[in-house]
Amino acid sequence: MGVQVVWPSGAMALLTQLEADRISLKSQGDLYDLYRNCSLAVLNSGNLTDNSKELLENYQNFEIDVVRNERGLKLELINPPESAIVDGKVIKTLQKHLYSVLRDIVQLQSTRDSIQEIVPQGLSENTLGLDKGTVITNVIFHILRAANAVRADHIPSLAVCWGGHSIPQDEYDYAYKVGKSLGLRGIDVCTGCGPGIMEAPMRGSLEGHALQDNAANCERIGLTEPSIIAAEPPNPFVSNLVIMPDIEKRLEAFVRLGHVLLVFPGGPGTAEELLYILGIKLCHCNRHNPIPIILTGNEKSRPYFEAINDFLVHCFGSDITRHYSIVIDDPKKVAEMVADGMKTVHAHRTLIHESYCYNWSLQIPEELQDPFDVTHENMAALDLHKDQEPYKLAANLRRAFSGIVTGNVKEKGIKIVAEHGPFKLHGDKDIIEYMGKLMTDFIEQGRILLSQREYVPCYQFEATND
């Protein structure tokens, strides 16, 4: 394909010399590989894959260079994917996403430096009295504000949709219908930006807004992070792409940005997301902070939700079910429940004078906020026993499923599993048995990987009691 040139616009048309050097091909800056891989994922938008290693190997000759000149800044794409080019030009939405990658990768190191500067590692507070969690929450807001994902003039209207990338067509069609029902009611959508469930509600929401002659105002926010974007390139319906520094900040961005959470069928990544929000809701300090959670799918997906519900009840007891609703095969009812949930959130935030666009008052425990380094040692050390506070168990289970996702689709995880074998997870017999049962259900239902016909588990479960 040769060389294609893209000219960034707005604030990203200008970079400092240091910023440009860190992502430049010629200088081989410390952020170059990350910037190159994220840009390649964006240019591969709409192409189905869930294996970052495979994507990077298929485009080994792709490079991207940042050139500063008298006009500001230009990006030179060397051997980009052919699907990204039409009549010699990069597709406009992909150009926009390239700007998003540039913006978020440039500020990635600044984000890390800011957290380290304000709250040095090992200290819970600095001299200003700011705890690390508060700093992280403010940094996340800064990233979302820079991406124009938080807007002061919007009343609650954003539904976060979680679900799998590897799903059958009938589940995609159902999620699309839910998205359309949301769009007809003026409700916007935020997803993880990839294919499958992450695409379907966005596509449906756009049509619903269009039928109400409101397509220009339809928000379709895609939140991703550097280690997952190559495995799940943005789908073609994302209107605003945001790359968060890591999975924990991505998850926090979802729950602070969204007003109602919808959980569609998925695999271990969806289980991770659900356990994250349940861990927050299990904290007593959040009992008055409304975050409606609706689990939904078509009739064929009923066994999936029965398995998820069974797993949660066995881990946390029957009381866990009061934190979510399950709706099967009824897109209209789901949309009506979402709309009612928006009204509840609106009334609550008006009462306490809380921001409509960002849930500042939500308390997220350290166990859910701190980044989890997925290694064999850390996975084996996870406490998967019931003799701890429920939110801590949820946090540890979240980390366990996060590790499984890493071993399945992320370049680092695929590499360390290939070198050292599967991760080993230890815990109470009934928790381990039900985790194993849930993963078996995921495998049998084809919810793990698109790129493997026969899934080879990256994990082993071992019970530590009778």
Express each pLDDT in 237-267 by its tens digit.
Answer: 999 999 999 999 999 999 999 999 999 999 9
* Average pLDDT rounded to a whole number, residues 119-146: 74
**339 occurs within a structural domain:** yes
Query: Which domain range does residue 149 map to?
Result: 137-352
> In this predicted model, what pLDDT tens digit does every residue of 73-86 receive, in sequence order?
888 898 888 888 89
Higher pLDDT, 354 or 72: 354
Percent of the chain with pLDDT over 70: 89
**201 occurs within a structural domain:** yes
Residue type, position 421, single letter: G
Q: Specify whether 341 is located in the same domain as 418.
A: no
Q: Give the residue from 88, 118, 148 where a domain finishes.
A: 118
pLDDT above 90 for 451: no
CA distance 388 to 384: 9
> In this predicted model, what pLDDT tens digit does every residue of 11-47 receive, in sequence order?
666 777 888 888 888 777 788 888 888 888 888 876 6
Q: Specify whether 243 is located in the same domain as 339.
A: yes
Based on the structure, what is the number of domains in the chain?
3
Q: Specify whether 191 is located in the same domain as 272.
A: yes
Query: If you average pLDDT over every residue of the chain, what do you get?
Result: 88
* Average pLDDT rounded to a whole number, residues 335-345: 97
**30 occurs within a structural domain:** yes
Q: Specify whether 176 is located in the same domain as 77.
A: no
**376 occurs within a structural domain:** yes
The Cα-based distances of 253 to 110, 206, 256 in angstroms read 18, 22, 5
Q: Give the residue from 352, 385, 406 where a domain finishes.
A: 352
Q: Specify whether 336 is located in the same domain as 383.
A: no
**358 occurs within a structural domain:** no
Give the pairing of strands 89-90 and 158-162: unpaired
Buried (b) or exposed (e) across 210-246, using 16+ Cβ within 10 A? Answer: eeeeeeeebbbbbbbbbbbbbbbbbbebbbbbbbbbb
Q: Specify whether 150 is located in the same domain as 57.
A: no
Split at pLDDT 50, 70, 90, the class of 115 is low
* Average pLDDT rounded to a whole number, residues 123-148: 78
Q: Specify whether 183 is located in the same domain as 327.
A: yes
- The CATH number of the domain where 30 resides is what? 3.30.1850.10
Q: Specify whether 197 is located in the same domain as 318.
A: yes
Under 8 Å CB-to-CB from 41, ≥6 apart: which residues? 55, 229, 230, 233, 234
Split at pLDDT 50, 70, 90, the class of 120 is low
pTM of the model: 0.90
CA distance 31 to 102: 11
Q: Specify whether 88 is located in the same domain as 155.
A: no
- Backbone torsion region of residue 395, taken as left when φ is above 0, otherwise alpha when ψ lies between -120 and 50, otherwise beta: alpha
Which of 80, 89, 90 minimizes the C-alpha distance to 36?
80
The reported pLDDT for the residue numbered 129 is 57
Q: For tokens 């997803």, name the residue.
A: 191
Q: Specify whether 68 is located in the same domain as 149.
A: no
